[in-house]
Amino acid sequence: MNSRTLELWVGLFVAAGMAALFMLAMQVSNLSSFGGKDGYRLTAAFENIGGLKVRSPVTVSGVRVGRVDAIDYDFGSFNAVVTMEIDDHYRGFPEDTSASIFTAGLLGEQYIALEPGGAMQNLKDGDRIQLTQSALVMEQIIGQFLYSMAAEKKPGGTPPEAEPSQEMPSVEQP
Amino acid sequence: MFEAFRLLGRSTLGFLQRLGRANLFLGQTLACLPGILLRPGLVLKQIYSVGVLTLVIIVVSGLFVGMVMGLQGYNTLVDFGAEESLGVLVALSLVRELGPVVAALLFAGRAGSALGAEIGLMKATEQLSGMEMMAIDPVQRVIAPRFLAAFLSMPLLAAIFSAVGVYGGHFVGVGLLGVDDGAFWAQMQAKVDLYDDILNGVIKSIVFGFVAGWIALFEGYDAVPTAEGVSQATTRTVVHTALAVLGLDFVLTALMFGD
Amino acid sequence: MTEPVVEIRDLTFARGQRKIFDAVDLDIRPCSVTAIMGPSGSGKTTLLKLIGGQLHPHSGSIRVFGQEVPALRRPALYRLRKRIGMLFQTGALLTDINVYENVAYPIREHTRLTETLVRDLVLMKLEAVGLRGAAHLMPAQLSGGMARRVALARAIALDPTMVMYDEPFTGQDPISMGVLVKLIRELNTALGMTSVVVSHDVRETMAIADYAYLLSGGKVIDHGTPDELRDSKSEWSGQFLNGHPDGPVPFHYPAPDFRDDLFGEVVQNV
């Protein structure tokens, strides 16, 4: 075949390859969430962040508004400090907004859910969210559960409308 | 008893000699690369025969691999109630592993064997010798363009394979099996990372292209100049490339995706 | 010039255990056709490769155009090769381009002539070998003899000082042979070239050679002009040049006594 056709085919091939790479980057990867549009940063301190990772999502009412940018540890307060990057699009969270770490589904990944408060002022770039709820750690929950079960059985620690406790009948000599 | 040792020793020496020749050959080829960038016509022709002509098998295989993944993935995930993650499964498998590796194996079978046979035949019919006697360096005119073509085509082919595979998986999963379209893409986009997954996959395919081109061209160049030698060169190309690709895949995966 | 174009002194070359050349002396005189003959496997093609610098001798000197070939580095070696044309036994045309492109190949690679000039040159060379009309054919479409003629046109494309022919007559029909014989002789005279013909076709070679060397067993058995060789006293030359089936080169491969073999015990092959 002549060189014109050859060049055409090679050009098509390279274009198809580039298109495939592009498609992979855009459709398949998380590129779209890089945005490029910078957002603003908020921090929050947690006792335990569980399985939260950098780039984990930050949602409000289920809507993804940003992602976790950095995770650090503060030796002053002995807490984990999470830095979140929120899209500029979503400004206007009240100052008393709370941040909790939830799990998506039963075995899914963990994310930060923001719950707006009712304050007059809004959070600005660099502000710290005061109200936080740490991740639920499986072992702690089980431990608490067992502890509260054991506490039900002990005398003095029972709830008010206790059933008559099953006491061993004392053997009384007639 | 000693005979076995002697054979072992001789074949080890032979293997080492071959390895040495292969590396010298690679050095020669790489040294010629800057030169042939001035002759893009040669490279273009090779990209056509090595890249474009492999497209058909890549696209068809990619489609079917993606579709099978959709099917098998669904069957497995549905037991965990996690069929919405089908997109993630298909995309990650393709981009990280199947795309680069299977595309490289197909490349070895179609383009690699053709290259090995072509060069071997040129050696057997004294064309390479003839060029040398005409004071033309065969490594620069014949080998280097083909090497560059393989090296450039491989990542493109792997990307096409992965992309087509994802759509194949989508067709089966969303189109036929009822997985939610939005969940398919959304979960995939959340989980597939541009740098960790896609870029690593591209790096893998570049390495595979380098190796596949090198092996095919060396086997042809080093072939015994007879008809039997050429056929041996062709089979060795495919076998050695397959082994090299799979071995390198393990090493690269451990480096990239390990901790 | 009266100095030999190629001077080989004390050449020794071995492949594995076998000595291909053992202290061989050879001269190729300018503006002549020198034949190198000998039985198959006597290393004739190897000699051409040694002269062209594709192989290195184990010892001895090979001087071409006054330069010591084994000592040349690549750029100088390539410059030397541009002055030598080589015709391979199979023609060694590049199979993916047509006849015109094949002949134009060395011209395009080594000169910066415009396409018009290249075309003129190619057509002239093809005309010299009688294949100008076949310029558009692909090598696969050519017969063996035609392929060799195209290869010859390619070999003389850059007007070399010396042309080497590797078994040009082997396997050719009488007409093709006649054509090649005519071409080799005429080109040599017309272009003032030096020709080296390696062959074992005695009749054709002797018809055009000005001087000949007979090689066997790694040594030069005899040399001289065709007339001198015909009158030579050497038994070996006589057997080779006249094609006698038995003589210094025996008919029978070494074997034990025939009678013993036939009537002796049947030895079981283990």
Which tens digits make up the pLDDT trace of C176-197?
A: 888 888 888 888 888 888 899 9
> What per-residue confidence (pLDDT) applies to A162?
44
Show Cβ contacts of residue B200 under 8 Å, excluding neighbours closer than 6 positions: B96, B252, B256, B257
Given an 8 Å threshold on Cβ–Cβ distance, is A10 in contact with B162? no
Instruction: Please answer whether residues B155 and B58 qualify as being in contact, where contact means their C-beta atoms are separated by less than 8 angstroms.
Output: no
| Token pair in block for residue B156 | 């493109």
CA torsion sign for C188, C193, C198, C202 is positive
> What per-residue confidence (pLDDT) applies to A166?
46
Residue of B nearest to A27 (CA): B189
pLDDT digits (tens, 9 = 90+) for B109-153: 999 999 999 999 999 888 898 888 888 889 988 999 999 999 999
Output the 3-class SS for A125-168: CCEEECEEECCCCHHHHHHHHHHHHHHHHCCCCCCCCCCCCCCC
Q: Which of A13, A28, A57 sits opposite B188 (nearest CB)?
A: A28
List of chains touching A (3+ CB pairs within 8 A)? B
Helices and strands (H, E) in chain B, number of each type: 12, 0
Q: By a Cβ cutoff of 8 Å, what residues of chain B touch chain C?
A: 121-122, 125-127, 129-137
Instruction: Please answer whether residues A116 and A80 qualify as being in contact, where contact means their C-beta atoms are separated by less than 8 angstroms.
Output: no
Q: Which residue has the tokens 């780039």?
A: A55
Residue C142's nearest CA partner among C201, C86, C92, C205 is C92
Q: Which of C81, C94, C154 sits opposite B135 (nearest CB)?
A: C81
> What per-residue confidence (pLDDT) applies to B198?
87
Percent helix, strand, coil in chain C, to 5, is 40, 25, 35
Measure in Å the smallest separation between the Cα of B154 and chain A Cα atoms: 10
Average of per-residue pLDDT across A6-22: 87
> What per-residue confidence (pLDDT) applies to B42?
86
pLDDT at A153 over 80: no
CA torsion sign for B197, B201, B202, B207 is positive
| Token pair in block for residue A59 | 């949602």
The angle subtended at Cα B213 by Cα B207 and Cα B215, nearest 5°, is 100
Instruction: Please answer whether residues A50 and A101 qualify as being in contact, where contact means their C-beta atoms are separated by less than 8 angstroms.
Output: yes
Instruction: Give the other-Cβ count within 10 Å of B225's Cβ.
Output: 15
List of chains touching B (3+ CB pairs within 8 A)? A, C
Q: Compute the count of residue pairs across chains A and B with CB atoms less than 8 Å apart.
A: 85
Question: Bridge-partner residues for C26, per DSSP?
Answer: C8
Instruction: Please answer whether residues B88 and B74 qualify as being in contact, where contact means their C-beta atoms are separated by less than 8 angstroms.
Output: no
Given an 8 Å threshold on Cβ–Cβ distance, is B133 in contact with C109? no
CA–CA separation, C44 vs C46, rounded Å?
A: 5
Q: Is B95 on the interface with A (CB under 8 A)?
A: yes
Q: Is C87 on the interface with B (CB under 8 A)?
A: no
CA–CA separation, C46 vs C150, rounded Å?
A: 23
What does DSSP assign to residue B52? Answer: G
3-state secondary structure of B34: helix
Given an 8 Å threshold on Cβ–Cβ distance, is B135 in contact with C110? yes
Q: Do strands A57-60 and C33-37 pair parallel, antiparallel, or not at all (unpaired)?
A: unpaired
List of chains touching C (3+ CB pairs within 8 A)? B
* C82 contact residues in B (CB cutoff 8 A): 134-135
> What per-residue confidence (pLDDT) applies to A160?
47
Q: Report in angstroms the alpha-carbon separations of C199 from A38, C205, C226.
A: 81, 7, 14
What does DSSP assign to residue C141? Answer: G
CA–CA separation, B214 vs B200, rounded Å?
A: 21
Q: Is C45 on the interface with B (CB under 8 A)?
A: no
CA–CA separation, A164 vs C151, rounded Å?
A: 115
3-state secondary structure of C59: strand
> What per-residue confidence (pLDDT) applies to B259?
54
Question: Bridge-partner residues for B213, per DSSP?
Answer: none
Q: Distance between the two ends of chain C, CA-based, in angstroms?
A: 65
Question: Bridge-partner residues for B237, per DSSP?
Answer: none
pLDDT in tens, chain C (270 residues): 467 888 888 888 888 777 788 888 888 888 889 998 887 777 788 888 888 888 888 888 888 888 888 888 888 888 888 888 888 888 888 888 899 999 999 998 888 889 999 999 999 989 888 888 888 999 999 888 888 889 989 988 888 889 999 888 887 888 888 888 888 888 888 888 889 999 888 888 888 888 888 888 778 888 888 888 877 777 777 777 777 777 777 777 778 888 888 887 666 554
pLDDT digits (tens, 9 = 90+) for A70-115: 889 988 888 889 998 888 888 888 888 889 988 876 666 788 898 8
> What per-residue confidence (pLDDT) applies to A149?
85
Q: Do chains C and A touch (3 or more CB pairs under 8 A)?
A: no
Altogether, the residues listed in chain C come to a count of 270
Given an 8 Å threshold on Cβ–Cβ distance, is A21 in contact with B197? no
Q: Which residue has the tokens 């390859």?
A: A17
Q: Is C93 on the interface with B (CB under 8 A)?
A: yes
| Token pair in block for residue B237 | 């190309």
Instruction: Please answer whether residues C180 and C209 qualify as being in contact, where contact means their C-beta atoms are separated by less than 8 angstroms.
Output: no
> What per-residue confidence (pLDDT) applies to B247?
94
> What per-residue confidence (pLDDT) applies to C223?
84
Q: Do chains B and A touch (3 or more CB pairs under 8 A)?
A: yes
Interface of B with A in 181-200 (CB under 8 A): 185, 188-194, 197-198
Show Cβ contacts of residue B62 under 8 Å, excluding neighbours closer than 6 positions: B99, B102, B103, B160, B161, B162, B163, B164, B165, B168
Instruction: Please answer whether residues C23 and C10 qualify as being in contact, where contact means their C-beta atoms are separated by less than 8 angstroms.
Output: yes
* B153 contact residues in A (CB cutoff 8 A): 13, 17
DSSP A76-118: TTTEEEEEEEE-TT----BTT-EEEEEESTTT--EEEEEE---
Residue of B nearest to A25 (CA): B194
3-state secondary structure of C33: strand
Q: Report in angstroms the alpha-carbon separations of B255 from B93, B204, B243, B252, C169.
A: 17, 11, 18, 5, 61
Average of per-residue pLDDT across A142-160: 73
**pLDDT < 50 positions in chain B:** none
pLDDT digits (tens, 9 = 90+) for A23-71: 888 776 665 555 555 688 888 988 888 888 777 888 888 888 888 888 8
| Token pair in block for residue C62 | 């090979």
Show Cβ contacts of residue C20 under 8 Å, excluding neighbours closer than 6 positions: C13, C14, C43, C46, C218
- Average pLDDT in chain C: 84
